[in-house]
Chain A
Amino acid sequence: MTQLPEPDAVARELAEFGRRLGMALPALNGAAGTQVGCSAKHAVFSRDKLTLYRFEPLARPSGLRPVLICYALVNRPYMMDLQEDRSLIRALLKAGLDVYLIDWGYPDGADRLLGLDDYINVYLDGCVQQILDAHDIDALNLLGVCQGGTFSLCYAALHPDKVKNLITMVAPVDFKTPENLLSKWVQGIDVDLMIQSGNVQGALLNLAFLSLMPFRLTQQKYVGLVGSAENTPEVENFMRMEKWIFDSPDQAAAAFGEFIRWFYQENRLIRGTLEIGGRKVDLASISQPVLNLYALRDHLVPPSASTALGGCIGSTDYSPVGIDTGHIGMYVSGTGLREVPGKIVDWLHSQAAHE
């Protein structure tokens, strides 16, 4: 006889499951209005749909240069400041850092022609310039997250004089490593045909991300919630994550097409053949100190995609740090929040000591 659960135990478990399920539904309803984002901030600059925010300080200034966080175009940047006990930004503020964050906004049909040149050399550069002018400094600390990390690398290569220290988080550099499932899927996509229909819907990207681990992400996750039905804060945490995951801006057609073709299909960044705005993006010209944080269990940006950076940049001060968590866990998991802010702050202090 197989060692399966005893019928009596199953009866109890199912009865309990049903009871909890009954509780979970109103609990979900109750959590429907759960808010995201927790730290006070104000807009200091805007251009088209972009807004640059500066966070209110939470501690005595550390004396370090301001940090500009460049988030990805995919999903919303409030993931960096989701709630009080799950906020990378809050941890940085508590360490006395002066934190700025780029919110790219929600592109619509009028933005379909925005390309990577616009995003990197106009929008990102505009934000950097704003901060440099406000602080009367020559260069700032740039922290790029995921696709924003790739943008930050491009920016640092194109405008090296404006970046003092560069931090990349779960940022893809080599887009064709064997573990990169997303990359395998997009190789045969006709990008020109795809963007003929305009901006690429965020929902479509979500579908692709969910398809990377469909059983876990579309079934197990929700069944697992039943176990937390009586714990209101956990249900609220779940809803915050759910809101973030499905709050996906559409992608400006031109930029999306360029990103897929140049980075995923042709792997130009690491091959040294990338040009943005008519200028070559040469990773070897990145000579400033670089801290590269990557997640050891990342299913979206495999560690191999990030660690490839080490062999490409010109900097002699390069620190790769693997964190034992997943892609999203870098910003919200216990491990991520225990390790990531401390590593960033310590590293920036050590760099400042050498200035």
Chain B
Amino acid sequence: MSESPDPTKAWRDALAQGQQAFLKFYTEQAPGQPMPQFAEWWAKFGAPKTSPGPDAAGLYLAACDHFFTLTRAFMEQLPNQQNAGMDAQSMAKKFAAGLEEWFQKSAAPGKTAWTQGLELPSLGVTRQQQDLWQRVLELTKRYQELQTQLSAQWSAVGREAAQKFGAELAAASKSGKGFGDLKSLYDRWIENAEQAYSTHAHQEKYAGLLAGLTNTLNEIKAKQRELIESWAQQFDLPTRTEINSVHSRLKAMQQQLHELREPKPRAKPETKAKAKPKRAARKPARKR
């Protein structure tokens, strides 16, 4: 145990030391450059463009960044001079509250006002286009509302995960069992978070929100396509609708061709049908 009168200092030093190791690696790779965020780092100096998994590596770095951030949030809740002498359960509760606040901050949705001008009727020769735009805006507003509701669900997940985690810490403390290292603590956090998430994710409300978001987003795409197609028609450019129509005709013709080549055998009365050798009875594969 450190002799320092303020235990927080020791934790902070520990975090700084851990990050220093990464910084050292970074500065060797890019001398004189300021230290960017992990994701930026990857974008600048990451895998070559031919890499099969740049997204994965980006995710990897983001996860590590998350690990450091989570650790930092964890550090801030550790015993210091202000809460010295606090009992284990109060400490765990305080820790859970801090973690919950951090989670909510990181999951807070952005808000944009979309309400103005949506009620005005469309006028003039571009009335149809105006209607479409208006619908897109309405849908975007709807999408943002659903997104906010989903974020609230995620906040609830974070709150419950933090509470479960805090309770587990308190229970471990009470029983005298400890967590050997930060990685074990982190793994317990993940486990608690998954459990909390699973409870919400299985509920009808959550499924309804996901479906609502998906449907709204798909309708936005459909309306935007309508807008783009109306523009394309002005210039006699082919549209997706026209290509789909051609595809449908082609498919129907392929089917007709197949039926002409291999007409369907007439159905025979089952009772009078003679058994044929298996090889001959086999139906040929359908060609398109």
Q: Judge if B118 is at the interface, Cβ distance under 8 Å.
A: no
A1 and B21 contacting across the interface, CB-CB below 8 Å: no
Interface residues on A, range: 35 or more
Contact with B along A21-48 (1 / 0, CB 8 A): 1101100110011100000000000011
Q: Assess A246 versus B18: contact at CB under 8 Å? Given A193-B215, A226-B64.
A: no
- The interface residues of chain B lying within 8 Å CB-to-CB of A316 are none
B190 and A159 contacting across the interface, CB-CB below 8 Å: no
A199 to B78, CA, bound (A): 51
Interface set, chain B 78-97, CB cutoff 8 A to A: 78-79, 88, 91-92
A7 and B282 contacting across the interface, CB-CB below 8 Å: no
- The interface residues of chain A lying within 8 Å CB-to-CB of B244 are 112-113
- The interface residues of chain A lying within 8 Å CB-to-CB of B194 are 213-216
Q: Determine which of A9, A19, A212 lies in contact with B181 in the assembled complex, contact meaning CB atoms within 8 Å.
A: A9
B187 and A220 contacting across the interface, CB-CB below 8 Å: yes
> What residue of chain B has the Cβ atom nearest to residue A35's Cβ?
B52
Q: Judge if B17 is at the interface, Cβ distance under 8 Å.
A: yes
Q: Determine which of A5, A218, A226, A243 lies in contact with B180 in the assembled complex, contact meaning CB atoms within 8 Å.
A: A5
- The interface residues of chain A lying within 8 Å CB-to-CB of B219 are 193
A138 vs chain B, min Cβ distance (A)? 5
A219 and B190 contacting across the interface, CB-CB below 8 Å: yes
B108 vs chain A, min Cβ distance (A)? 17
A22 and B53 contacting across the interface, CB-CB below 8 Å: no
A194 and B214 contacting across the interface, CB-CB below 8 Å: yes
A3 to B26, CA, bound (A): 34
Q: Assess A129 versus B284: contact at CB under 8 Å? Given A7-B7, A13-B181, A28-B60.
A: yes
User: Which of B51, B79, B177, B279 has the most C-beta atoms of chain A within 10 angstroms of its own C-beta?
Assistant: B51
A18 and B18 contacting across the interface, CB-CB below 8 Å: yes
Additional A-B contact list (6), CB under 8 Å, known A5-B179, A162-B282, A193-B218: A6-B2, A185-B210, A190-B211, A215-B197, A239-B56, A245-B56
Binding site for B on A (CB under 8 A): 1-11, 13-15, 17-19, 21-22, 24-25, 28-29, 32-34, 47-48, 109-110, 112-113, 118, 121-122, 125-126, 128-130, 132, 138, 159, 161-162, 181, 184-190, 193-194, 196-198, 211-216, 218-223, 225-227, 239, 242-243, 245-246
| Nearest 9 Cβ contacts at the A-B interface | A14-B18, A18-B21, A188-B211, A3-B178, A22-B25, A11-B14, A222-B63, A129-B285, A7-B10
